[in-house]
């Protein structure tokens, strides 16, 4: 497998996380084992509340695991965060309403102390990438929800991180824009050799983008199945979605999801 060389970028072993809610504890993650290698594109898929966001937040050091071990680029998640090794696209746009679109994208660069000219160049680049050229001077509330989410993607990409953590980035987009951005994302990933961890609810999206698909199930949040997509070429085009290999993988993901999905409780 091409991604397997070298130590893993993210390695979790026996990872568990319990939220102490007011009434009873919530077992958001339970005994999660996962190794993500350089150049991997990992999709997390599973029913709502199965801990996808939680897993991403643990990798990003926004949440501390209750037990188990996790390393990011061989460091603790905190060290990785302090070195700004990842870019995070949140489930909601989380734009700052007093900043224009352009200045929102430049925010992380400002904090990192990137010079002004380069900040502007990078922001312009990334806004063009997500199809928002011409909206630089608009304020977030003047944009639709999907456009806001694209701004937040541009903001994460402007950091040029090696590790990209994305929490349902395309959830709020229409099918065509979504296809377009999927294609852009896979090309960017191929070109730059980034490692991506990507949360989605769409089986087609997961299969199209991923090298491996992690199927999760809730209560407690755990990994049911990890599906390799080696049958698909690393170079992805939209028409691979018609291929039998694609259909076979999608079928397996669907079976896995069904297994984890129980409406009894």
Partner 1 sequence: MSGNPYQTSPYRTSLRTAADWGLVTLALLTAAALTQPIGIKDGAILSWTADPIALLFLVGSAFSVVGGRTAPTPAKGAWVELGGAAMAWLLPFHLLNEGVDLSRGWGLWLYLIVATVMLWRVLGVLSAVPGWRRSLLVPGLFGLGLLLGWEVLVRGFQIPSVLLPPPSAIAASLVKHAPVLWDDFRQTVLTSVVRGYVMGCGAGFAMAILADRVPFLARGLLPLGNLASAVPVIGIAPIMVMWFGFDWQSKAAVIVVMTFFPMLVNTLAGLQTSERIQMDLMRSYAAGYGTTLVKLRLPNALPFLFNGLKINSTLALIGAIVAEFFGTPVVGMGFRISTEVARMNLDIVWATIVVAAVTGSVFYGGLALLERATTAWHPSMRRR
Judged by beta carbon distances under 5 to 8 A according to partner kind, the member of partner 1, ligand ATP, Mg ion, none in contact with residue 107 is partner 1
Contact 151/140 with Cβ under 8 angstroms? yes
H-helix or E-strand spanning residue 247: helix 244-260
| CA 76/CA 252 separation, integer angstroms | 34
CA 21 to chain CA centroid, nearest Å: 26
Q: Choose the stretch contacting ligand ATP; rule: CB under 6 A; options: 5-13, 46-54, 129-137, 173-181.
A: 46-54
Q: Does 51 sit near ligand ATP (CB under 6 A)?
A: yes
Judged by beta carbon distances under 5 to 8 A according to partner kind, the member of Mg ion, partner 1, ligand ATP, none in contact with residue 244 is none
Question: In the complex with partner 1, which residue's Cβ is closer, 87 or 221?
Answer: 87
**Longest pairwise C-alpha distance within the chain:** 57
CA 204 to chain CA centroid, nearest Å: 15
Q: From the CA atom positions of the chain, what is the Rg in Å?
A: 18
| Closest approach of partner 1 to the CB of residue 187, in Å | 25
Which are the contacts of 115, defined by CB distance < 8 A and separation ≥ 6?
Answer: none
Q: Does 53 sit near Mg ion (CB under 5 A)?
A: yes
Judged by beta carbon distances under 5 to 8 A according to partner kind, the member of ligand ATP, partner 1, Mg ion, none in contact with residue 26 is ligand ATP
In the region spanning residues 170 to 229, those forming contacts with ligand ATP, defined by CB under 6 A, are 221
Contact 181/23 with Cβ under 8 angstroms? no
When binding is defined by CB under 6 A, the residue of 5, 6, 21, 191 that contacts ligand ATP is 21
**For binding to ligand ATP (CB under 6 A), which residues are involved?**
19, 21, 26, 28, 48-54, 91, 221
């Amino acid at each position: 497998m091409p991604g397997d060389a070298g130590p893993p970028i993210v390695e979790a072993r026996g990872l568990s996380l319990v939220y102490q809610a007011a009434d009873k504890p919530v077992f958001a993650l339970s005994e999660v084992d996962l190794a993500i290698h350089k150049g991997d594109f990992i999709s997390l898929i599973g029913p709502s509340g199965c801990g996808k966001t939680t897993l991403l937040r643990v990798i990003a050091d926004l949440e501390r695991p209750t037990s188990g071990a996790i390393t990011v680029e061989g460091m603790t998640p905190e060290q990785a965060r302090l070195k700004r090794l990842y870019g995070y696209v949140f489930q909601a746009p989380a734009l700052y309403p007093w900043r224009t679109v352009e200045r929102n994208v430049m925010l992380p660069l400002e904090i990192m102390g990137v010079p002004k000219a380069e900040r502007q160049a990078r922001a312009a680049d990334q806004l063009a990438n997500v199809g928002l050229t011409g909206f630089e001077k608009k304020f977030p509330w003047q944009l639709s929800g999907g456009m806001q989410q694209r701004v937040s993607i541009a903001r994460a990409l402007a950091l040029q991180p090696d590790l990209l953590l994305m929490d349902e980035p395309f959830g709020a987009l229409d099918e065509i824009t979504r296809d377009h951005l999927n294609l852009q994302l896979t090309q960017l990933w191929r070109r730059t050799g980034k490692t991506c961890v990507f949360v989605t609810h769409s089986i087609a999206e997961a299969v199209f983008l991923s090298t491996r698909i992690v199927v999760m199930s809730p209560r407690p949040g755990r990994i049911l199945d990890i599906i390799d997509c080696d049958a698909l070429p690393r170079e992805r085009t939209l028409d691979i979605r018609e291929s039998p290999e694609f259909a076979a993988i999608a079928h397996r993901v669907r079976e896995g999801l069904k297994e984890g999905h129980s409406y009894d409780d």
